[in-house]
Amino acid sequence: MPTTPFLPLPDGLEITSLSETEQELLVRVTSNRVSSLCPVCSTPSFSIHSYYRRKPLELPCTGRIVRLLLSVKKFFCRVVSCPQKIFTERLPELIEPSSRLTTRLRSLVQAICAAFNAKGGARLGEQLGIHFTRETFLRSLHLLSTPPVGNVKAVGIDDFAWKRGKRYGTVIIDLETHRLLDILPDREAESVKQWLSAHPEIEIVSRDRGGTYAEGAAQGAPQAQQIADRWHLCKNLGDAVEVYLVRKKIQIPPSPSSNITTQQVAAVCAPLPQPEPGSCRYASQEKCERKQAFVDQVKSMHEQGYTTYEIADVLHLARNTVRKYLRLEGPVQPTPRTRRLSQLDPFYEYLTERWNAGCANAHQLFVDLQEKGYRGGKQRCAVLSRDCAKGFQGWLVHQNKHNREKRCLCPFRPQGSCVGCSPSGKKSSPWKKKVT
């Protein structure tokens, strides 16, 4: 039969037989064309050299693999000046030279890989009867030809990771059409220079603030104007503002009203008062003194003419730490640690009443809290009961490598202080005092 609607074929090809195996359907196709064009000189040839068979894969049918047994010819090229003496029959409507997939199947594989990537395309192909590995999907996608760049006036250059931390490339985008123009294998200035040199019509080059692309753009497109892209400008501005706010400890109002006055804004945005060194019970005064000595030494060396790199090398500090010390104004102040929120905080008053009533059983406290809406674990109540008993025995001595300080272990401290513990250092019975 010449052809069938279930498997349409180009003119000059006909189906001779159909058969099947356990794995696939076999369709024998024979070419009846008497001539073919030479791929080098494009001269038609009628001189048949021999016959041979190709076995490409076709689109699957009802989930089964379809393989074509294609019988085609080889021809002589009779043009004396042509270097191609023997060539194979060309069937551009059905299959490309040296390809093991028909054009229809190759186009489907490329579309799937472009939409789902190679690994996702391989998983979807299994459901469609296309049993290829992800490498086959990826090779098919690489066969797609990229459109020519053409005339472009404004380009954007940035880097991307082939493998994060190991190997990077460069992507070039048309800023007017937002279309991908090219991908360079690395992010070196020489690669950017060569690409820009091939396009002298470029007028604007948008890049990051790194020196590599600046050098490549200056050498490859000296006529173009270099600008910093908006994303890097916004990111650098945001980082600088964040560092300033952290350094100045400025409190921004959460929801300013429309009728707020300038004096109110100035009062809210003013720097917070620095805490006294002795007011923070968790900060080590010795640590602050050591840090202050480093700060004084860094500022002294800077006044003597030492650079940031030299100061960091001599004092064995990071360069960012040296810059931070140079920006520091006034004496070093300890930073108080904020108490972390606990699921038991909403039940503080109830726990105080239960403890004063004589209930020190962790399981009973847990059951009572669950009735009040507590959603935490039982272990929290056990730790609370144990620490509460320890805390009522007075001030415990805590030893660390810097100094000896007294620490209260009472868990009922919503404001960082305990009114139920005796600061006299004497042990007392847990039932002689009440938590208020």
Same domain, 305 and 385: no
Same domain, 93 and 134: no
Same domain, 168 and 221: yes
At 168, which CATH number?
Answer: 3.30.420.10
Band of residue 429 on the pLDDT scale cut at 50, 70, 90: very low
Q: What is the reported pLDDT for 410? A: 44
Indicate whether 316 belongs to any domain. Answer: yes
Six token digits for residue 126: 């299994």
Band of residue 335 on the pLDDT scale cut at 50, 70, 90: low
Indicate whether 268 belongs to any domain. Answer: no
- Alpha carbon distance 152, 147 (integer Å): 13
pTM: 0.46
Range in 108-112, 332-336, 363-367 with the lowest mean pLDDT: 332-336
Residue with tokens 């503080």, as numbered in its chain: 348
Same domain, 90 and 114: no
Six token digits for residue 345: 């905080």
Band of residue 253 on the pLDDT scale cut at 50, 70, 90: low
Is 311's pLDDT higher than 50?
A: yes
Same domain, 357 and 428: yes
In total, how many domains does the chain have? 5
Same domain, 305 and 224: no
Indicate whether 387 belongs to any domain. Answer: yes
Question: Among residues 309, 288, 384, 297, which one has the least CA distance to residue 343?
Answer: 384
- Alpha carbon distance 134, 191 (integer Å): 30
Same domain, 436 and 367: yes
Q: What is the reported pLDDT for 254? A: 58
**Which is higher by pLDDT, 376 or 121?**
121
**Which is higher by pLDDT, 27 or 359?**
27
Q: What is the reported pLDDT for 270? A: 46
Same domain, 312 and 382: no
Indicate whether 338 belongs to any domain. Answer: no
Q: Residue 58 burial by CB count (10 A; 0-12/13-18/19+): exposed, middle or buried?
A: buried
Is 51's pLDDT higher than 60?
A: yes
Is 413's pLDDT higher than 60?
A: no
Q: What is the pLDDT of residues 62-103, one digit of tens each?
A: 888 999 999 999 999 999 999 999 999 999 899 999 899 999
Indicate whether 49 belongs to any domain. Answer: yes
Q: Are 273 and 300 in contact (CB under 8 A)?
A: no
Indicate whether 261 belongs to any domain. Answer: no
Same domain, 298 and 357: no
Is 390's pLDDT higher than 70?
A: no
Residue with tokens 């001539």, as numbered in its chain: 35
Intra-chain end-to-end CA distance of the chain, in Å: 100
Q: Please give the average per-residue pLDDT across 132-150, as a whole number.
A: 86
Please tell me what DSSP assigns to residue 68.
E
> Phi/psi of residue 180, each to 5°?
-70, 125
Same domain, 121 and 193: no
Q: What is the reported pLDDT for 279? A: 43
Is 227's pLDDT higher than 70?
A: yes
Q: What is the reported pLDDT for 252? A: 58
Is 330's pLDDT higher than 90?
A: no
Q: What is the reported pLDDT for 190? A: 92
Q: What is the reported pLDDT for 338? A: 61
Q: Please give the average per-residue pLDDT across 289-314, as a whole number.
A: 89
| Domain end among 301, 327, 353 | 327
Indicate whether 259 belongs to any domain. Answer: no
Q: What is the reported pLDDT for 268? A: 40
Q: What is the pLDDT of residues 163-210, one digit of tens each?
A: 888 899 999 999 988 888 888 989 899 999 999 999 989 999 998 877
- Alpha carbon distance 117, 27 (integer Å): 31
Helix (H, G, I), strand (E, B) or coil at 151: coil
**Which is higher by pLDDT, 173 or 421?**
173
**Which is higher by pLDDT, 251 or 396?**
251
% the chain with pLDDT above 70: 78
Q: Please give the average per-residue pLDDT across 223-240, as a whole number.
A: 88
What is the span of the domain harbouring residue 119? Answer: 110-142
Same domain, 352 and 432: yes
Contacts 24+ apart (CB under 8 A), 345-348: 345/414, 347/372, 347/374, 348/412, 348/414
Six token digits for residue 125: 């192909």
Band of residue 280 on the pLDDT scale cut at 50, 70, 90: very low
Range in 85-99, 114-128, 395-409 with the lowest mean pLDDT: 395-409
Q: Please give the average per-residue pLDDT across 54-61, as a whole number.
A: 92
| Domain end among 197, 213, 232 | 232
Indicate whether 354 belongs to any domain. Answer: yes
At 314, which CATH number?
Answer: 1.10.10
- Alpha carbon distance 86, 83 (integer Å): 9
Q: How far is CA 396 from CA 35, 391, 407, 412, in A?
A: 102, 8, 6, 16
Beta bridge partners of 399: 404
Q: Please give the average per-residue pLDDT across 360-384, as a whole number.
A: 82
Same domain, 123 and 164: no
Band of residue 392 on the pLDDT scale cut at 50, 70, 90: very low
* Crossing angle (nearest 10°) for helices 211-220 and 189-197: 30
**Which is higher by pLDDT, 414 or 123?**
123
Tell me what the pLDDT averaged over the chain comes to: 79
Is 162's pLDDT higher than 90?
A: no
Please tell me what DSSP assigns to residue 347.
G
Q: What is the pLDDT of residues 267-279, one digit of tens each?
A: 444 444 544 444 4
